[in-house]
Amino acid sequence: ATFTVIAALLPMAFVTGLMGPYMSPIPINASMGMLISLLVAFVVTPWIAYKVLANQAEKIAQHGEDGESKKLYDFFSRYLSPFLGTKSGASNRLKLLIAIIILMLLSVGMVWVKVVVLKMLPFDNKSEFQVVVDMPEGTPLEQTTRVLGELGRYIATVPEVTDYQVYAGTAAPINFNGLVRQYYLRSQAHEGDIQVNLLDKSERDRKSHEIATAIRGPLQQIGQQFNANVKVVEVPPGPPVLSPLVAEIYGLDYSGQRKVAKQLREIFENTPDVIDVDDTIEHITDKLIIKVDQQKAMLYGVDQQQVVRVITTALNGEDISYLHTGNMKYPIPLRLQFSVADRARVDSLLSLRVRSQSGRLIPLADVVELENSTNEFAIYHKDLLPLVMVTGDVSGELDSPLYGLLDIRASLENSELGSLQEYLINPPENPYKNSIKWDGEWQVTYETFRDMGIAYSVGLILIYFLVVAQFRSYLVPLIIMAPIPLTIIGVMPGHALLGAQFTATSMIGMIALAGIIVRNSILLVDFINQQLDEGIAFEEAVIRAGAVRAKPIILTGLAAMLGAFFILDDPIFSGLAISLIFGILVSTLLTLVVIPVMYYAFMRNKINA
């Protein structure tokens, strides 16, 4: 029974991808704990019992050899007897099977009707979040700073905020999100960040996610006044992704990708609960090209390199000397550069003079030509393929990117982009044909639940082999493992009752339940076989198994439920606690009925023969 729990948990240690480091400590530590508990049960517990209960041997003997309770026996005799027997028992067993199937379908249906919401991981209650601001390309640093100041003044009014720091035209200190989103590269004048720190979670009533959701609307309204794209970015509870919703657009040429991305962005913005929509398309910005007229420069005797140096000094500045003072450790550079106002005027630049070979000062306007153009676009690549990305997030009643993705795909089918091929798992087969690959949190969710599903299947196979080795039968393990699906009857209604999302940690709880339920089944079947070896009738052995094993099974189940209560209020592992509490509660009660009845139904003819 102990090794069945380990067999159910240990395969989770081999989950791949970004979620691997999150998952592996749980099965490893739990498996070690089970082995240690097995050692304690065989060595420490008997020794303590011998020392503590030695004087109560007679009282324990009078209680009964098997500890059978008369009330429990009467209870199981009353409720199990209708399912035993040949004619009426078979009819009642069929009714029990139908009732269980209906309950399982209703439990699974809670996901379909969105009573239980699926999500990778719930938001944690952090002490910080980040406000990312993107102004149109070409916006001067002063304007970006002004917008950040307006946003900061509103943030200061939020009671839970202790302080904030503004970063204009430079990157904020690297954080967990920045590892994947590459925030450390944000160094343009039109980019800005605000790092917001909150009170400790013990000193505030609202969680960080509630605060971020509440201030997102007002901040975006302020940003719209200045044509700024404002996004509230929270520290992710799991692996960071570029954005919860990511659409990668592939195609033959960049112009075609841009066209598809603009249409897809409109669908993102018109989809309910989809927020913080953005893309990798840059705004068209003007560029002024200064060309040196080589013929005129030669006639005036002006060196082209000198022209370039004068323009570079005026716009970017140049240290022409250093000031040495007695009380300074390092010399102070003397920088020659145009003022901010002069740098914004082309006339000021053209009025500069360069010295010719003859010593005359020649205005730049006499040796250069101006050409109006636009800046080139940055082209993003993934796996060496050019692409354009549209990103977004989801906030609302469901608060899960999975449902936002489903809504966007439904709107996509009814639009001009409905003919595009969509890929959910693998990259496009032909990246030079217009197509969409969905990425972001969906990709991490798929990979995690795929690996956990494989681990679940491997665990079931290991459990089957362990039980086959124990009972020397290929049919008995199937009976013992039959109650595993019953856990869904407790897990899903439990999440619905507490209004919790079904997350990856909830799935961990379901995997752990497989080992726990099989352990209970083994205890029941093993006791039935012991009774049969002692010459007890099959029907009587089935009833006694429930009466005798009910108390230890219920006590161990209550102990596991009590342990799960301590993590019930944890934002991340509450799903694990809910799965254990409600799954153990319902499946344990059903196992006490289903296993004896199933064992009787499938083994009756074989044993009676």
At residue 230, φ and ψ (nearest 5 deg) are: -110, 125
Identity of the amino acid at 584: I
Of 17-26, 222-231, 276-285, 346-355, the range with the lowest mean pLDDT is 17-26
Q: Which pLDDT band holds residue 60 (cuts at 50, 70, 90)?
A: low
Name the pTM for this structure: 0.78
Average pLDDT, the chain: 87
468 and 477 in contact (C-beta within 8 Å)?
yes
In the three-class reduction of DSSP (H, G, I as helix; E, B as strand; rest coil), residue 119 is classed as coil
**What is the C-alpha to C-alpha distance for residues 34 and 222, in angstroms, rounded to an integer?**
56
Q: Give the pLDDT confidence score for residue 124 in this predicted structure.
A: 83
Q: What end-to-end distance do the CA atoms of the chain give, in Å?
A: 29
pLDDT tens for residues 226-258?
A: 999 999 998 887 778 888 899 999 998 888 999
Q: Give the pLDDT confidence score for residue 67 in this predicted structure.
A: 47
pLDDT at position 65 over 50: no
DSSP character string of 545-605: HHHHHHHHHHHHHHHHHHHHHTTTT-TTTHHHHHHHHHHHHHHHHHHHHHHHHHHHHHHHH
**What is the C-alpha to C-alpha distance for residues 269 and 279, in angstroms, rounded to an integer?**
12
Q: Which pLDDT band holds residue 43 (cuts at 50, 70, 90)?
A: very high
pLDDT tens for residues 454-464?
A: 888 898 899 89
What is the mean predicted confidence (pLDDT) over 571-587? 90
